[in-house]
Amino acid sequence: MLDKTWLHIIDNIDFAFQPIVDINNGKTVAYEALLRNYKEVGFDSIDSFFDTAYEEKILHTLDLKLRKKVLKKIINSKLYDKNIKIFYNLDNRIIEMPNYKEGQTTKILDKLNIDKSILTFEISEKHKFRSFIEAQTVFNLYQEQGYQIALDDFGTGFSGLKLLYYLNPNHIKIDRFFITDIFKDQKKKLFLKNIINIAKSINSTIIAEGIETQEELDMCHEIGCNSVQGYYIQRPTTNIDKLKKYYPIIDSISHKINPSVRDLSNISKKSENQDNFSHLLNEYIILSTADLNGTIKTVSNAFCEISGYSKNMLVGQNHNIIKHNNTPKSKIVDLWKTIKAGNIWTGEIQNLSQQKEDYWLKTMISPSYDNLGKIDGYISISHDITEKKKLEKITIIDHLTNLYNKTYFEKILSKKMNYAQQNNTYITLILFEIDDFKKYNKSNSYQQGDKVLKKISHKITELHKDDHSTFRIGGKEFALLLENNTKKASIQVAATILEEINALKIKYILDKEKRHVTLSAGLVCLKGNQIDENTNLLISADISLCKAKSFGFNHLEVSTFTYKSSIV
């Protein structure tokens, strides 16, 4: 709760608004909210206002009050338009507050009957993030909920490129430093051109801040910025009635300047040998370009450093040179299908360095185009997430078998069931259990039993390599999740695994009888329209597994009904 002093301050604080305008047609696409009257309530600057709230550990509570004030001021004006977004400057230190809680903005919007899509949070480097991964988690959640993220003052901080990769912003706002007199500064032009190329590859828009002259406006249009903001268009004003939904001064330049959009895709090619551009890419970005067949054409120094290969060793080779054997074929198929269709592929990929060490990249691959608008290759931009993956592995991996553990299984099962239900696709769960495994351990040893578990795990993984699909969920139990497999195809997968384990001929003696290790299995396959909130796939498969064991060894039983929790 805020005390009376802070409530009085909030009552007297005001907000000015400045339009962000589409550079191609003059239409207002957003209003940025800017704090005003802070001096009148006793603060020297906006920074001191928020610093004080931070020190008193009320920053999150205060910020929620300010968000509400901004939104109410806009919706109560005649200019309110659900298609025009509100850019709100967010102090990233709110996530350090003891009372920080997700979902509070949604409550405010619901009460005001406003859609989430109207709100864009601006994030800057003004205050250091405690952890980029923590920031990524929080702000990715904002985006998943329907909000947008803008990276403010881009280009002025030391870790801007890191923020760019971790936050994956919808918008990138170029700091005024790079806009001032850009029409007569070749270095600034070069910087902005290549940031636009990067923005395109990650599906972000570019907003040029601080436009103060016609020359700056013209140059930003020529280079390819999406939107502009600045005194030349409209000064910030607390009087909302002075704002406009359309600015003819912007629309007029589109008739004077009409550069080819495809020319922009060639900028990076023409400037690859420029020192500034090379330094930007080589030092901070794991980047490569490839032809239509995946043959590497160029790589950055950062790419060489993480892969362990030199540029001479990489250029002319296929990208498969760093491919890890654990990468599922389905992921590669999806990747190529996406980029050949002219779309951007994003995902996490496990790679193998020259030193045969694993490393993980969060990668975005975008098509590049020739002068005729045809795809002539691909640009790959990545960020190293190896440490993040190592931390994840500690919590989600069964260390004996190297399969995913039961905790992760429960999380993924829920996620994949939701996907199947929403998209009306197939989902299959197969449970496997080693037959008479307790007796095997007694007649041999637990050390031998561990070896059996490892052999079976390895064989199942070898037969089915898709991501997040194979689990050890008990001492002698394994689970396999399949997506988009019909019941017939799923039965074939399960039968093959039983046959292959049987073929291993892992021998042992039980009650003076020579035996070898086998599995029993229970299978359930459903389509999305058969799933509801009471469906329990795990119990359905377990019932089938129990029935399979009742027939003896090496038996597969397929579920003929679906267990519902409401039956109990």
540 and 408 in a common domain: yes
Q: Does residue 545 fall inside a structural domain?
A: yes
CA-CA-CA-CA dihedral for 259, 262, 267, 268, to nearest 10: 160
* Domain CATH for 102: 3.20.20.450
- Lowest mean pLDDT of 123-127, 278-282, 473-477, name the range: 278-282
Q: For tokens 């030349």, name the residue.
A: 232
Tell me the pLDDT tens digit for each residue of 315-358.
Answer: 999 999 999 988 888 889 989 999 998 888 989 999 999 999 99
Nearest to 285 by CA among 188, 378, 363: 363
User: In the predicted model, what is the mean pLDDT of residues 256-266?
Assistant: 40
* H-type alpha helices, 145-205: 160-167, 186-201
421 and 366 in a common domain: no
> Is 260's pLDDT higher than 60?
no
> Of 387, 406, 423, which closes a domain?
387
Rounded-to-integer distance, Cα 322 and Cα 353, Å: 6
Look at residue 365 in the predicted model and tell me its pLDDT.
Answer: 92
> Of 339, 369, 387, which closes a domain?
387
> Is 158's pLDDT higher than 60?
no
Q: Average pLDDT of the chain?
A: 85
What would the two tokens of residue 450 be? 């561990």
Rounded-to-integer distance, Cα 124 and Cα 312, Å: 38
Q: Which domain holds residue 380?
A: 285-387
Local structure of 346: helix, strand or coil: strand
Q: Does residue 268 fall inside a structural domain?
A: no
Whether the Cβ atoms of residue 471 and residue 405 lie closer than 8 Å to each other: yes
Chain Cα centroid distance, residue 140: 7
Tell me the pLDDT tens digit for each residue of 211-246.
Answer: 998 889 989 988 889 999 999 899 999 998 889 988
446 and 382 in a common domain: no
Look at residue 95 in the predicted model and tell me its pLDDT.
Answer: 83
120 and 20 in a common domain: yes
141 and 92 in a common domain: yes
Tell me the pLDDT tens digit for each residue of 14-72.
Answer: 999 999 999 988 899 999 999 999 999 999 999 899 999 999 999 999 999 999 999 99
What does DSSP assign to residue 95?
A: G
> Is 271's pLDDT higher than 70?
no
Tell me the pLDDT tens digit for each residue of 132-157.
Answer: 666 677 677 788 888 899 988 886 65
Rounded-to-integer distance, Cα 35 and Cα 50, Å: 11
435 and 376 in a common domain: no
451 and 413 in a common domain: yes
Q: Quick one: CA dihedral 235, 239, 245, 248, positive or negative?
A: negative
193 and 338 in a common domain: no
Rounded-to-integer distance, Cα 160 and Cα 546, Å: 56
Tell me the pLDDT tens digit for each residue of 465-497.
Answer: 766 689 999 989 999 999 989 999 999 999 999
294 and 227 in a common domain: no
> Of 257, 277, 298, which closes a domain?
257
105 and 141 in a common domain: yes
Q: For tokens 């436009």, name the residue.
A: 211
Look at residue 336 in the predicted model and tell me its pLDDT.
Answer: 92
Query: Residue 86 — very low, low, confident or very high, per pLDDT cuts 50/70/90?
Result: very high
> Is 567's pLDDT higher than 60?
no
350 and 221 in a common domain: no
Query: Residue 268 — very low, low, confident or very high, per pLDDT cuts 50/70/90?
Result: very low
Count of domains for the chain: 3
Q: Does residue 119 fall inside a structural domain?
A: yes
Q: Are strands 345-352 and 358-369 parallel, antiparallel or unpaired?
A: antiparallel
401 and 379 in a common domain: no
Q: Does residue 264 fall inside a structural domain?
A: no
Whether the Cβ atoms of residue 556 and residue 537 lie closer than 8 Å to each other: no
* Domain CATH for 507: 3.30.70.270
Q: Does residue 37 fall inside a structural domain?
A: yes
